[in-house]
Amino acid sequence: MMSAGRVYPQKTVVPALIFVMLNFFAYSPYSGDYMIKYQANVTFIGPMVSEFIENHILILFGESAPEELMEFAIIHDGKNLIKPLAVNDSVQIGESSYKVLAIGEVANTNLANLGHLVLKFNGNTSVEMPGDVCLEEKPLPPIQVGEKIMIYD
Amino acid sequence: MAEEKKYRKVRIKKGPKGWGGPLVIEPKPGRDLIYSVTGGGIHPVAQRIADLTGGTPFDGFKSKAAFEEIAVAVIDCGGTARVGVYPMKKVPTVDIYPTSPSGPLFRFITEELFCSGVRVEDIELIE
């Protein structure tokens, strides 16, 4: 009687645990196909962002950016850079996705410390400035508050 | 009467592969902030300028200040946004990275207002 009582829960607990773990791997950043390195939601769009859009550039900053930088920037709530960006990663903004072609030597530090990213949609495979991240040359995405930004490999 | 703060002057020259300058910075009463707009708190270059001049080190990512209060801005900008923003507001700007005028605001970046590639040893007291 006693031993049967112990066996019974194991039979249900183990499959339940496997089910939970399968779900965890399927939906976590570590799922087989790709890893999400950075995630954020747009919280504010500076009034002068359009000046940079004309030059095929988007400037991103985290929410601690001083006011004078917010003027030119897309402000977002991203916090953790899980893994440094690398060439061939993808940057997704809303529904549009862009392949990373080149990364400046300080771009990852800027992103990790300040949520700061300089995206240049110019198709270049080498950076002009150390903070640049060069992306495919495609039309810039429409940006609005609430839009999701995601970087994955 | 409050004791009047004494400020001193420094000359800041560009570092290896840097551009612009030299800048002469002298904080004044009401305009004495050494404004560090860098990742990870007050940058050693900003701290050095503050130590030599008697200016007040200030973290632009932690608190808010008016442009009129800033004696010099210290940035770690990779070349597009911050390099232009402070010169545009006529604030002398020191970039610790060796950037040259670029980005949509490049026309505001002049040798009189901007100096880059600056290291701690590129700052000297002149008075």
Pick from B37, B78, B86: which is nearest to A118 by CB?
Answer: B78
B115 counts as catalytic? no
Q: Which residues of A are catalytic?
A: 76
pLDDT in tens, B16-35: 999 999 999 999 999 999 99
B12: closest CA of chain A, how far (Å): 22
Helix (H, G, I), strand (E, B) or coil at A98: strand
Q: Give the C-alpha separation, B107 to A114, whole Å.
A: 25
Set of chain A residues whose Cβ sits within 8 Å of the Cβ of B67: 68
Instruction: Please provide the average confidence, as pLDDT, over all residues in chain B.
Output: 92
Average pLDDT estimate for A24-33: 58
Higher pLDDT, B79 or A128: A128
| CA proximity to A20, closest of A11, A8, A28 | A28
* Domain ranges, residue B113: 15-125
**DSSP codes, B12-48:** E---TT--B--EEE--BTTB-EEEEE-TTSS-HHHHH
H or E stretch at A75: strand A74-76
User: In a 10 Å sphere around its CB, with 0-12 CB exposed, 13-18 middle and 19+ buried, how is residue A93 labelled?
Assistant: buried
Judging contacts by C-beta atoms under 8 Å, the chain A residues touching residue B40 are: 113
Structural domains counted in chain B: 1
**Kind of pairing, strands B33-37 and B56-59?**
parallel
Search chain A and give the residue with CA nearest B36: A66
**Which residue from B minimizes the CA distance to A54?**
B104
Interface membership of A113 toward B (CB under 8 Å): yes
Domain ranges of chain A: 1-30, 36-152
Mutate to test the interface with A, among B17, B59, B70, B82 (most CBs of A within 10 A): B82
pLDDT digit string, tens, across residues B79-120: 788 888 999 999 999 999 999 998 788 899 999 999 999 999
Q: Does domain A36-152 have CATH number 2.40.33.40?
A: yes
Task: Name residue B81's amino acid.
Answer: A
Q: How far is A76 from A150, CA to CA, in rounded Å?
A: 11
What is the ipTM score, two decimals?
0.82
Could you give the 3-state DSSP secondary structure of residue B99?
coil
